[in-house]
């Protein structure tokens, strides 16, 4: 069975729970965490691959715990011509994919770090961040 | 003897292509190296720049007469309403105007994908804009409606006129509440999740002439990629120093603003960009650069102020700001803001700008190039703007 790529988003109340352990122990899933980020407010995002017969039940369990589960079919890209390097996205991006280089204060985008949370696509004042399917 | 240079002397050098022009950043290192006196002697003009959302922006349009003639009472450009109460075929389009059918914040937080600022960007980019107007019909202006496409070059005049731009210093916004707030300083996460600020600090025009010794009515500036002018003080021009500490040291000029004007037809879309703020509204990001003539040592000393000596007040946009509670949490320097984190109420808070420092640098460099090549002559102000001495204060609106 081929692995399924998913994005999880959860808030502070779930950050301390052993949800990944339960996926493995209760549903027998093979879990490969690709990226994970829990920010100081303990809101977290995680991108992972899961393989196993009971992946549907596993995802149901996560949703039951209040975790938002999305299939990773999108890519976020930055339209470099449009980006003004204002920086408005950099303290918002939860994974550090968008960051400022100092001292030039130029904004850089490292798509490998992106957890496709879509925040930047909405808050970028010039809509330079685009979701592609 | 104290150095005194006149506008006429400096302009004569510019015309000969002999003026020494440096950006405000370059002046800082020069003063560090050689001292104020030497730098004042050597340098003729210092250039500054800023690129940030400036809501109080807009454009006067003269659309030309139709056949038969029409008194345009209500006017829309790409469905965004403009103000038609000026004259028969004139209108003013404001950067924050929104289409009649915009859901606004009813789908909170609203997206505000297109507004007046975007129309201005489209005009400057020479894109055709859908123009619609209705009139009530008069004896001299009988026509009652029109719908057509216009482009910037086809209409008679387009004058960018921004009544309040280029804020001297601006607030650093944080959020002390436990819910996310959507402000004109961007999205502010709960419980001091982030801090947003918006000036270019040591490159920012009004921070480099804190007492308005050189900026006034008639100062020629870089505006939106073309030439523009300071035409008055901006609205809400209340210049003051943020704090005078116990030793009488003044900290951080703030509160000055500019009214600026220029020919939109000269401007470039990379310096006038329509912007949207989630949950807040639409605006226009404007590029402004101001040359500062090195008239004397005082002007030079001010133009060489560094990020570490320029301050912004940290203000809670969750509760205090919307409820008009005066005061601020603390002052932070632009050096701290640019470092990426500040400490507020004992907590380390990540910072991010809303004004583009790379673009501010480009503007200062472009203006430097124009002046150095003799293509940009300084405008001597016929009247300087009121400084902190004038004691101007904002009045609250009762009701
Ligand atoms: S908010 Fe948008 S324009 Fe500003 S730096 Fe980020 S991607 Fe670029
Ligand atoms: S979608 Fe945007 S904000 Fe979210 S992680 Fe990717 S780059 Fe950062």
Q: Which residues in chain A have Cβ-Cβ distances shorter than 8 Å to B350?
A: 91
- Count of CB contacts below 8 A, A vs B? 82
CA R_g for chain A? 16
Structure tokens at B90: 């004139």
DSSP, res B155: S
pLDDT value at residue B180? 96
Chain A closest-CA separation from residue B12 CA (Å): 35
d(CA B196, CA A75): 27
**What is chain B's percent helix, strand, coil content, to nearest 5?**
20, 35, 45
d(CA B9, CA B47): 18
Helices (H), chain B: 7-15, 24-34, 36-42, 116-124, 297-303, 334-339, 357-372
Largest CA distance in chain A: 51
A131 at B interface, C-beta within 8 A: no
Structure tokens at A9: 């988003």
**What is chain A's percent helix, strand, coil content, to nearest 5?**
25, 35, 45
B277 at A interface, C-beta within 8 A: yes
d(CA B142, CA B379): 44
Helices (H), chain A: 12-15, 19-27, 55-64, 119-123
Top mutation candidate among A79, A83, A98 for ligand 1, by most atoms within 8 Å of CB: A83
DSSP, res B159: E
Q: Strand pairing partners for A79?
A: none
Active site residue B140: yes
CA R_g for chain B? 22
Q: Do A41 and B190 touch (CB under 8 A)?
A: yes
pLDDT digits (tens, 9 = 90+) for B261-303: 999 999 999 999 999 999 999 999 999 999 999 999 999 999 9
pLDDT digits (tens, 9 = 90+) for A8-44: 888 888 877 888 898 899 999 999 888 787 776 677 8
How many angstroms does the Cα of residue A83 sit away from the middle of ligand 1? 5
Q: Does any ligand 2 atom lie closer than 6 A to the CB of residue A46?
A: no
pLDDT of B246 higher than 70? no
pLDDT of B322 higher than 80? yes
**CA distances from residue B87 to B94, B127, B198, B286 in whole angstroms, order as listed:** 17, 25, 37, 27
Q: Which residues in chain B have Cβ-Cβ distances shorter than 8 Å to A91?
A: 193-196, 350-352
**pTM for this model (two decimals):** 0.90
Report the Cα B191 to chain-centroid distance in Å: 30
Crossing angle of helices A55-64 and A19-27, rounded to 10°: 140
pLDDT value at residue B243? 80
Is the distance from CB of B334 to CB of B312 less than 8 angstroms?
A: yes
Low-confidence ranges of chain A (pLDDT < 50): none
**CA distances from residue A99 to A76, A105, A108, B235, B268 in whole angstroms, order as listed:** 15, 9, 5, 35, 27
Residue A37 CA: nearest ligand 2 atom is 5
- Mean per-residue pLDDT of chain B: 96
d(CA A93, CA A98): 6
Average pLDDT over residues B61-67: 97
ipTM: 0.93
pLDDT value at residue B245? 65
Give the number of other CB atoms < 10 A from CB of residue B383. Answer: 10
């Amino acid at each position: 069975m081929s692995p399924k790529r998913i994005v999880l988003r959860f808030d502070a109340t779930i950050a301390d729970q052993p949800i990944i352990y339960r996926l493995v122990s209760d549903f027998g899933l093979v879990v490969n965490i690709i990226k994970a980020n829990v920010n100081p407010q303990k809101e977290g995002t995680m991108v992972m691959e899961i393989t196993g017969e009971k992946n549907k039940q596993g995802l149901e369990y996560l949703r039951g715990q209040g975790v938002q589960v999305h299939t990773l079919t999108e890519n976020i890209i930055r339209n470099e011509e449009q980006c003004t390097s204002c920086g408005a996205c950099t303290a918002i991006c939860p994974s550090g994919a968008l960051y400022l280089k100092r001292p030039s204060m130029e904004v850089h985008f490292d798509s490998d770090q992106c957890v496709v949370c879509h925040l930047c696509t909405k808050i970028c004042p010039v809509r330079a961040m685009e979701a592609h399917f | 003897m104290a150095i005194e240079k006149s506008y006429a002397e400096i302009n004569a050098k510019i015309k000969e292509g002999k003026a020494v022009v440096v950006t405000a950043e370059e002046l800082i290192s020069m003063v560090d190296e050689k001292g104020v006196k030497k730098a004042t002697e050597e340098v003729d003009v210092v250039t500054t720049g800023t690129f940030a959302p400036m809501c109080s922006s807009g454009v006067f349009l003269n659309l030309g007469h139709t056949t038969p003639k029409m008194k345009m009472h209500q006017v829309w450009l790409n469905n965004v309403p403009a103000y038609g109460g000026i004259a028969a075929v004139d209108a003013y389009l404001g950067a924050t105007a929104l289409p009649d059918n915009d859901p606004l914040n009813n789908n909170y937080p609203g997206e505000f994908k297109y507004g007046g600022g975007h129309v201005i960007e489209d005009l400057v980019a020479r894109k055709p804009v859908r123009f619609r107007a209705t009139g009530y019909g008069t004896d001299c202006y009988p026509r009652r409606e029109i719908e057509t496409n216009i482009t910037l070059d086809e209409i008679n005049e387009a004058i960018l006129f921004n009544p309040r731009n280029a804020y001297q210093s601006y607030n650093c916004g944080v959020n002390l509440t436990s819910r996310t707030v959507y402000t004109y300083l961007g999205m502010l996460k709960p419980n001091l999740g982030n801090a947003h600020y918006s000036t270019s600090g040591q490159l920012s025009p009004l921070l480099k002439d804190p007492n308005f010794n050189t900026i006034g009515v008639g100062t020629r500036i870089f505006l939106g990629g073309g030439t523009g002018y300071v035409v008055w003080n901006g609205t809400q021009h209340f210049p003051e120093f943020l704090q005078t500490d116990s030793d009488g040291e003044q900290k951080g000029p703030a509160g000055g603003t500019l009214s600026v004007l220029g020919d939109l037809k000269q401007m470039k879309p990379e310096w006038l960009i329509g912007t949207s703020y989630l949950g807040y509204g639409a605006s226009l990001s404007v590029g402004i650069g101001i040359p500062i003539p090195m008239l004397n040592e005082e002007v030079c000393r001010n133009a060489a102020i560094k990020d570490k000596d320029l301050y912004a007040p940290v203000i809670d946009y969750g509760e205090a700001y919307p409820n008009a509670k005066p005061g601020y949490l603390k002052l932070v320097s632009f050096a701290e803001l640019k470092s990426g984190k500040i400490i507020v109420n004992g907590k380390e808070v990540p910072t991010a700008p809303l004004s583009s420092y790379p673009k501010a640098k480009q503007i200062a460099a472009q203006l430097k190039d124009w002046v150095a090549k003799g293509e940009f002559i300084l405008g001597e102000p016929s009247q300087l703007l009121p400084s902190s001495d004038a004691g101007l204060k904002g009045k609250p609106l009762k009701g």
